[in-house]
């Protein structure tokens, strides 16, 4: 199984006390190296191209992130920071996702995990928000459609915050299915069941305090059947681990084993419809111990 990462992703500077900090990525990669040693096939994430980014993002956002070249960290909103090193980090995060899609659709790998930051699923077509600059999972999905001619790509998003950017980008694109569980009410206050796109969007919100049994029921009863019926040719995962009980930014009560269970279920769907092909991307998760536990559980399940 391939893992894509890059040192540039550690240099994205969000400032002191920001929850989306470089230590998150170091915790994930360190835990994976300790748990799996040489069993993982590590690759440097390449840069995404402007053409790849422009499939899902407006020129104004691409130029803002890549051409601003701020001398000091610049707050784009109260949560989202553009630092002198952020453009390179964002290019590597999106580029790792593209390379992972190329690898699994080109036959070099069956599954891949992108250990990258900044996260991406809140970034809309024209707006960086929610810690996110470019929407890497959306870039990956568009690449599968355009460069590889796939007709059905599914995105499973289990981050505790709704992937509003991913949903908005593909709400009118029937070739992409978006399935999400998330806490609600919670930032960004989207992801209601009534939001259906063109019949390709499936949201199951969970109230604060829900535990693994409610999370599993949401996927078992609604979201996994929707993906199964869609029969995706590629499965992408927005793997946010901030629904863990230890996470400081939300109030769901998941454990590493809950993530392992869902990952096994998603892998089984990929085996049924997509030749096993899964590309997973790190999104949120802000407690370092929970990140270590959850990322190891997720990758171990992907490898089975």
User: What amino acid positions are annotated as catalytic residues?
Assistant: 122
CA–CA distance, 96 with 58 (Å, rounded to integer): 20
Name 157's bridge partners. 180, 238
What are the C-alpha distances in Å from 180 to residues 30, 222, 254? 28, 10, 15
Residues with Cβ within 8 Å of residue 67, at least 6 apart in sequence: none
* Residue 22, burial from CB neighbour count under 10 angstroms (0-12, 13-18, 19+): middle
Residues with Cβ within 8 Å of residue 158, at least 6 apart in sequence: 180, 181, 182, 215, 219, 237, 238, 239, 240, 243, 259, 262
């Amino acid at each position: 199984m391939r893992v894509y990462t890059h040192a540039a992703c550690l240099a994205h500077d969000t400032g002191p006390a920001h929850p989306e900090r470089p230590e998150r990525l170091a915790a994930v990669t360190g835990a994976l190296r300790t748990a799996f040693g040489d069993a993982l096939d590590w690759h440097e994430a390449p840069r995404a191209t402007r053409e790849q980014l422009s499939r899902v993002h407006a020129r104004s956002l691409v130029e803002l992130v890549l051409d601003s070249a701020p001398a000091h960290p610049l707050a784009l909103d109260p949560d989202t920071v553009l630092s002198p090193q952020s453009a390179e980090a964002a290019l590597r995060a999106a580029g790792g996702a593209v390379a992972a899609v190329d690898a699994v659709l080109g036959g070099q790998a069956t599954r891949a995990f992108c250990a990258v930051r900044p996260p991406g699923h809140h970034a809309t077509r024209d707006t960086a928000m929610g810690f996110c600059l470019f929407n890497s999972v959306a870039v990956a999905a568009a690449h599968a459609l355009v460069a590889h001619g796939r007709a059905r790509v599914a995105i499973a998003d289990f981050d505790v915050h709704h992937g509003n950017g991913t949903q908005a980008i593909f709400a009118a694109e029937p070739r992409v299915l978006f399935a999400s569980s998330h806490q609600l009410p919670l930032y960004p206050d989207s992801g209601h069941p009534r939001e259906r796109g063109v019949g390709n969007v499936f949201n199951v919100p969970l109230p604060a305090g829900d535990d693994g049994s409610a999370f599993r029921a949401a996927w078992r009863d609604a979201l996994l059947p929707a993906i199964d019926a869609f029969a995706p040719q590629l499965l992408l995962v927005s793997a946010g681990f901030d629904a863990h009980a230890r996470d400081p930014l939300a109030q769901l009560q998941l454990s590493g084993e809950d993530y392992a269970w869902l990952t096994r279920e998603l892998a089984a769907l990929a085996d049924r419809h997509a030749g096993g092909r899964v590309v997973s991307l790190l999104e949120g998760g802000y407690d370092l111990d929970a990140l270590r536990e959850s990322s190891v559980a997720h990758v171990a399940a992907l490898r089975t």
